[in-house]
Amino acid sequence: MKPKIFIDGRDGTTGLQIYDRLNGRDDIELLLIDESNPEDPVLRKELINQADLIFLCLPDDIAEQSVSFIENDNTRVIDASTAHRVADGWVYGLPELSDKQHEKIRTAKRVSNPGCHSTGAILLLKPLMEAGVIPQDYPIAITSVTGYTGGGMKMINDYEEPNRAENSELNAPRLYGMGASHKHIPEIMQYTGIKTAPSFMPLVADYPQGMQVIIPLHLPGKRQTVTDILSKTYARCLNINVLDDKPIFAESNLNADTDKVAIRIRGFEDKIILTAQFDNLGKGASGAAVQNMNIMLGFNEYERLKF
């Protein structure tokens, strides 16, 4: 029997992308809600308890409500919201996190999909911190540039407004989350081992998809060590490519519309610059969610992912 899948919040950016990836697959059955009333809690609860696996593509409070609706012990969850990323009883949905994480996801009932900025930061930092190359109290600074689709439908509509003024503030990269309490910081700290909150500065720019997480490090004489650790860590991952190179430019939309991650080690003198380039809607959201679903249901991990 085909597993039944329900996307709670299908009309949002992540939900639509997950639907597009799953629609037409012959190894699952998609449960669809009445489009005239997609927020009806009675209808949602009914479908949640019919499903073998549900995706939650919702604001945090509504995602928590959906979890409270579950009465069927066999219903499994992948939550794309922030609500459960550091919660007890939830498995973090980053298979590349460690050799054991894939198995944890495969057997989990509750999986939290990582944040997009967090994905890049954790992939870059965790292996180096685990190896002791970066001390736990090292002052980490993270800059992350993302396309505007990561901001949801309102931001997408703002950027794609056909009559947008030539001098609009949207025409240039914009800093945001400047209150220094960005929602991705707790998961970055929990899954890397950082003891002090990093300085984190996200930017949104006038292009739709793709992002680049940038972390500068002062580690004299450690560049080859850093390259070796990251290369060995991700050698088994078909979706991650590690390169030690010296490009003139490093574009943030390099892997747009794919589920690939390019990890690059660059530097000069005693400085190392780590970057992770991937799609904010791919490995940063819907692609990661589908990868987790594939693992949980026993399918090929990379089924229908984009390479």
**Distance separating alpha carbons of residues 34 and 27, to the nearest angstrom:** 23
Measured from the Cβ of residue 34, the count of other Cβ atoms closer than 10 Å reads: 9
Sequence-distant (6+) residues with CB within 8 A of 180 are: 199, 200
Sequence-distant (6+) residues with CB within 8 A of 162 are: none
The pair phi, psi for residue 11, each rounded to 5°, is -80, -10
Q: From the candidates 51, 70, 108, 116, which is the catalytic residue?
A: 116
DSSP state, residue 12:
S
Instruction: Give DSSP secondary structure letters for 181-249.
Output: --TTHHHHHHHH--SSPPEEEEEEESSSS-EEEEEEEE-TT-HHHHHHHHHHHTTT-TTEEEEE---S-
- Catalytic residue check, 237: no
**Distance separating alpha carbons of residues 67 and 112, to the nearest angstrom:** 12
Measured from the Cβ of residue 224, the count of other Cβ atoms closer than 10 Å reads: 10
Catalytic residues: 116
